Amino acid sequence: MSTSLIIFAKSPTPGKVKTRLTPFITPTEAAELYKAFIADIIFNAHKLKCERITIAFTPSNAEATFHGICGHSVNYLPQKGGNLGERMKNAFKHSFHQGSTRTVIIGTDSPTLPLSYIQSAFDVLKEVPVTIGPTFDGGYYLIGLSEQNDAIFDGIDWSTSKVFGQTLTRIQTINKQLYVLPPWYDVDTPDNLEFLRSHIQAMKLSGASDIPDKTMLSLKI
């Protein structure tokens, strides 16, 4: 059974990413921090039992930028679609056409996301067709499928606190069995950033092996 991890990412352009962190930090600092998030997530992803890792990037002309961040050890796929749901539909479709039998999509807003959560997603997809990892702000940090299912992404108010709840309703409507992973946090606001800083400090003090090193350096911890 083939496994595929797709990591959704935006080009780390000042003023285009992590905009809610400004003016707490400058647009350039926010872009550099987000770039560190991407690099750390890619580095840790290689520790997973996963046969294919793909960066689904936007905008479509940013592949060279991501080569500079992620190197040649991953695959690259431009995001296609008018909204996030359409882009995820198309990414899943591409993955299944490539021969994957279990595909997981994550974002790049959670540099401390435990690898065990992602590995659990792959493991449970042997038994259930859908798995999802909610965030505390009402969205989700991960969604995994063992088969194409476009209906899950229809009728969702993307980028709102309704996303997780509406997605659960869609899954119930199409009568699919579901496994829900533990919740985790995104880093989108100044409060999230302060929590991330404290969390990494705690990880460092405890001798954790999966500290996001580039994020730690970017935050000068």
CATH topology of domain 3-218: Spore Coat Polysaccharide Biosynthesis Protein SpsA; Chain A (3.90.550)
Instruction: Note the pLDDT of residue 126.
Output: 96
pLDDT in tens, the chain (221 residues): 699 999 999 999 999 999 999 989 999 999 999 999 999 999 999 999 899 999 999 999 999 999 999 999 999 999 999 999 999 999 999 999 999 999 999 999 999 999 999 999 999 999 999 999 999 999 999 999 999 999 999 999 999 999 999 999 999 999 889 999 999 999 999 999 999 999 999 999 999 988 999 999 999 99
State pTM to two decimals. Answer: 0.97
How far is it, in rounded angstroms, from Cα 125 to Cα 27?
Answer: 39
Instruction: Note the pLDDT of residue 209.
Output: 86
| Rg (the chain; Cα; Å) | 17
Q: How many residues does the chain have?
A: 221
DSSP letters for the chain: --EEEEEEEE---TTTSSGGGTTTS-HHHHHHHHHHHHHHHHHHHTTSS-SEEEEEEESTT-HHHHHHHHTTSSEEEE--SSSHHHHHHHHHHHHHHTT-SEEEEE-SS-TT--HHHHHHHHHHTTT-SEEEEEBTTSSEEEEEESS--GGGGTT--TTSTTHHHHHHHHHHHTT--EEEPPPB----SHHHHHHHHHHHHHHHHHT-S---HHHHHHTT-
Instruction: Note the pLDDT of residue 1.
Output: 61
How far is it, in rounded angstroms, from Cα 139 to Cα 211?
Answer: 24
Domain residue spans of the chain: 3-218
